[in-house]
Amino acid sequence: MAARTKSSVTTEFSTTNSTPRHRWRPADGISKLFSSPASKLSHPQADFYLVLGAASMLALVGVLMIWSASSVYASVNQLGPYYYLQRQIIFLAIGGPVAWGLSRCGTRTIYGVGFAGILVSVVLLLAVHTPLGVELYGNRAWLNVGPLGTIQPSEFAKVALVMWAAGFVALRKRTHNDPAKWVPQMVTVFGIIECLVLAQKDLGTMVVIGMILMAVLIFAEAPWKWLAWLTVAAVTGVLLMIATDAERRTRILSFLHPESAVSDQPNNAIYALASGGWLGLGLGRSRQKWGGLYNGAQTDYVFAVLGEETGLVGTLGVISLFLVLVFAGFRAASRCTSRSLGHAAAGMTAWLGLQALINIAVVLRVAPVLGIPLPFLSQGGSALLANLAGVGVILAAARREPGVSQSATTTPDKPQRTPRITSVVDTPGG
């Protein structure tokens, strides 16, 4: 009887795919780099990274411009050349984690934070009229917070109103078809905040909050009849506030008749943009920040300093970043699987986009002076913190687009380890 011997068992692992290995060539990397932008935009996570990238770049440009634009004003007021820069960096360090936390919140959390934010905002807006309040530039709209300087509570109210309104609309599905049951309630809450801001004599913030209300109502598909009546009421109210206040009338007349303007700040902003040319005078070399723009070089007129120091290229770059943020924000809002987060993202995007548009229009002298800061770039810790919170809400909506969770966990280009097993074979012995 022939003896049988058992061959050894060997098991090997291969990292090759079922398809033949493709050798990488430099041309492959170049082709991917210059591949169709449409294919990149179709990626489920495209909106998330577009919003994150645009907001991060704007915040960094803002830090750079505040370092350049505020040094003269801070030194003249004996605060040290880096006072406003250090303060902005502190609020940026606080706002980053706030944005990250909001980006990971769900629908009910966003609604709850918004409701609590409105209550806190009301308390802070009332506290402005206590000894803690600070009056600047004719408006009593700031609170003294000790070592951090001052904060503006109305900035936090903007974010809170958007988050609350989005959840308010989403939680009223049954009464959505009957606007009389939810539009007056929303208008009442916004109206309370508007009245508190009116007591501060801050017309610019009132206009922005009114625009936020209109945007939220449009996204909530409120009937056009309601929108028309609210628009008429808002325009009438603004005209009355202008007619009954001498300073506001002066601003409007200065815009309509520049030759008789009381302040030459708007004209100096145009001079700054014109002297910047194509590439600008260079960082830190602005001339108008030495007195021509007064206290507005690092706040409402920082866009003029940007144009003077970086030229048309720099201003168009910043405008492009805002356009990317608005495009990706609205697309994330339209694709979000959560109705509440979609409304919140749309409201935040509209707020940031409209406020940037108004500020740039004022600097270009195509709109009267309203005292509205440029998001991310103007000096102001509370404004920056509110802007970053708004970005966090937009990112939360972008994280809930269809296919994001799957694309975040799969790696289709990673080679799979497939086992190669040699079977056991009995062979007859000799």
Is 38 domain-assigned? no
Is 47 domain-assigned? no
Average pLDDT over residues 220-235: 91
What pTM value is reported for the model?
0.85
Is 306 domain-assigned? yes
Is 41 domain-assigned? no
Mean pLDDT rounded to a whole number for the chain: 85
DSSP string, 209-220: HHHHHHHHHHHT
- pLDDT value for 170: 81
Is 16 domain-assigned? no
- pLDDT value for 145: 85
Which tens digit of pLDDT belongs to each residue from 36-66?
Answer: 566 677 777 899 999 999 999 999 999 999 9
- pLDDT value for 22: 46
Q: Where are the beta strands (DSSP E) in 261-320?
A: none
Top-ranked range on mean pLDDT: pick from 143-147, 417-421, 425-429: 143-147
Task: Say whether 21 sits in a helix, a strand or coil.
Answer: coil
Is 83 domain-assigned? yes
Which tens digit of pLDDT belongs to each residue from 230-286?
Answer: 999 999 999 999 988 888 888 888 888 887 777 788 889 999 999 999 999 999 899
82 lies in which domain range? Answer: 52-403
Of 85-99, 317-331, 404-418, the poorest mean pLDDT is in 404-418
Task: Say whether 352 sits in a helix, a strand or coil.
Answer: helix
DSSP bridge pairs for 90: none
Residue-level length of the chain: 430
Angle (nearest 5°) at CA 422 between 419 and 427: 170
Is 416 domain-assigned? no
Average pLDDT over residues 366-372: 90
Is 28 domain-assigned? no
Work out whether the CA dihedral 403, 405, 411, 416 comes out positive or negative: negative
Burial bucket for residue 134 (CB in 10 Å: 0-12, 13-18, 19+): middle
Longest alpha-carbon distance in the chain? 121
Which tens digit of pLDDT belongs to each residue from 279-328?
Answer: 999 998 999 999 888 888 899 999 999 999 999 999 999 999 999 999 99
Count up the domains in the chain and report the number: 1
